[in-house]
């Protein structure tokens, strides 16, 4: 295999043969293809894309780079959810236990942060003692006994994607429809699911900035999933401002806990209910969306969802008191960013908010960087809310001033304050479109 020639071929707009794609993916998985050549290949794909034949081969090569689970012996329809990535997107941490508490098994394999977006695994690891590294045997047994497992890819599940995912994060090749689609579906098909709900984000804080891009990605994901015999629903949801009011790791877990107690931000609650209701319908425990919502609300009001999260945490080596008593990592220092003038918050650039959190240490600039679980930020004002001159709009929770100046500059760029005294109308709803 002449790797340099294949990179040039894709760089110049040519199509790669399925056998060459399989060989490239296998070589990167076993370490014989170095990072610098893999990065060049990813950049060529970023600019030139993959046609349908290439995309199928790329996805299947990543899927079969490791084991594919068979969960048929576990009763129930196994349903997972995946988000394409956003800012303040802690939905999975509340959603998965709620759905499991309603009787649908949730085998959820998640990823780490990509670029300006946070990762579910990094957030879960902010819970003291919580292990996201489960063996396949532990994953299967926990799903059978607890009804939900929240973990990362094992050495044996889609190992090619695990390596490429980390490389994309640091080589500017995240925002690519074929790379996103193949990454998501290779993981999800490997975990043995029967059905999948997709949350495809669109807006300033998403990788897909426009509705057209998001629709293209959603259609691609649905087509690949259905082609593999799975039931798939895709939601297009707004990410023009962060979800909720907290961005980071432990601080987002706090928001998820608030949602499970019925006190979370309205947008987080609404999206959790919308996605969860669809998961319950696909899982066969709710006849329709209304029935699914009712079950989800019941699991919040009864405390069953919070109890299930504590059970998952305990099963994976974590301290359930972190959930039940809010014993999560914090930092002692916080600084505020204030409004330069009075008015109404007209817009918040979610990507700048995500990059502000990254500057504080809540994400990675390089593959080997450590994530600080305690740092992050709180949005004290969101779109449509009034603010006076000199009043705080964001609280920055930092460790010894690390990244504070950059975070402050990004927040100042993120916020646009209007002279209009009344709240501006939302440009679009939280759930924009549903593809079934």
Tell me the catalytic residues: 82, 161, 168, 183, 187
Q: Say which residues have a Cβ less than 8 Å from residue 208's Cβ, sequence separation at least 6.
A: 84, 175, 200, 201, 202, 214, 216, 217
Please report the DSSP string for 365-390 in residue order. Answer: SSTTPPP-SS-EEEESS-TT-EE-TT
Q: Which of 222, 207, 163, 212 is closest to 46 using CA atoms?
A: 207
Q: Is 417 helix (H, G, I), strand (E, B) or coil?
A: strand
Tokens matching residue 132: 């996201």
Extended strands (E) in 310-414 = 333-338, 343-348, 376-379, 386-387, 392-398
CB neighbourhood size of 284 (10 A) = 14
Phi-psi region of 55 (alpha: psi -120 to 50; beta: other; left: phi over 0): alpha
| Parallel, antiparallel or unpaired: strands 386-387 and 415-418 | unpaired
Asked if residues 347 and 240 have their Cβ atoms less than 8 Å apart, the reply is yes
Asked if residues 92 and 275 have their Cβ atoms less than 8 Å apart, the reply is no
Query: Which residue stretches of 103-195 are H helix?
Result: 120-124, 136-145, 159-169, 177-190
Q: Is 428 helix (H, G, I), strand (E, B) or coil?
A: coil
């Amino acid at each position: 295999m002449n790797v340099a020639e294949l990179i040039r071929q894709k760089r110049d707009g040519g199509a790669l043969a399925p056998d060459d794609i399989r060989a490239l993916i296998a070589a990167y998985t076993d370490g014989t293809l170095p990072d610098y050549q893999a990065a060049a290949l990813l950049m060529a794909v970023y600019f030139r894309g993959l046609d349908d034949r290439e995309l199928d081969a790329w996805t299947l090569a990543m899927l079969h780079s490791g084991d594919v689970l068979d969960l048929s012996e576990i009763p129930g329809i196994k349903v997972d959810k995946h988000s394409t990535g956003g800012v303040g997107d802690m939905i999975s941490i509340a959603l998965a236990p709620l759905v499991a508490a309603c009787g649908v098994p949730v085998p959820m394999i998640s990823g780490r942060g990509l670029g300006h977006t946070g990762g579910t695994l990094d957030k879960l690891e902010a819970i003291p003692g919580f292990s996201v590294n489960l063996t396949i045997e532990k994953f299967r047994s926990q799903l059978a006994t607890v009804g939900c497992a929240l973990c990362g890819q094992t050495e044996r599940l889609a190992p090619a994607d695990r390596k490429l995912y980390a490389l994309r994060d640091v080589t500017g090749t995240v925002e690519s429809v074929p790379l996103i689609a193949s990454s998501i579906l290779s993981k999800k098909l490997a975990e043995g699911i029967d059905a999948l709900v997709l949350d495809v984000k669109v807006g300033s804080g998403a990788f897909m900035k426009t509705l057209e891009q998001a629709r293209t990605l959603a259609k691609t994901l649905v087509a690949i999933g259905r082609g593999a015999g799975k039931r798939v629903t895709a939601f297009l949801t707004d990410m023009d401002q962060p979800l909720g009011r907290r961005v980071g790791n432990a601080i987002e877990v706090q928001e998820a806990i608030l949602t499970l107690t019925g006190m979370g931000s309205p947008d987080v609650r609404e999206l959790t209910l919308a996605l969860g209701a669809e998961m319950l319908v696909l899982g066969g425990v709710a006849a329709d969306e209304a029935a699914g919502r009712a079950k989800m609300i019941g699991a919040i009001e009864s405390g069953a969802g919070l109890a299930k999260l504590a059970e998952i945490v305990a099963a994976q080596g974590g301290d359930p008191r972190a959930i039940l008593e809010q014993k999560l990592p914090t930092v002692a220092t916080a600084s505020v960013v204030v409004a330069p003038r009075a008015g109404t918050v007209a817009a918040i650039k979610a990507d700048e908010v995500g990059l502000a959190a990254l500057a504080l240490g809540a994400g990675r600039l390089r593959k080997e960087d450590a994530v600080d679980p305690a740092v992050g930020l709180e949005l004290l004002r969101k779109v449509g809310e009034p603010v006076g001159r000199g009043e705080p709009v964001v609280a920055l929770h930092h460790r010894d001033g690390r990244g504070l100046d950059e975070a402050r500059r990004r927040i100042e760029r993120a916020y646009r304050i209007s002279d209009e005294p009344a709240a501006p109308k939302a440009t679009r709803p939280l759930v924009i479109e549903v593809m079934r």
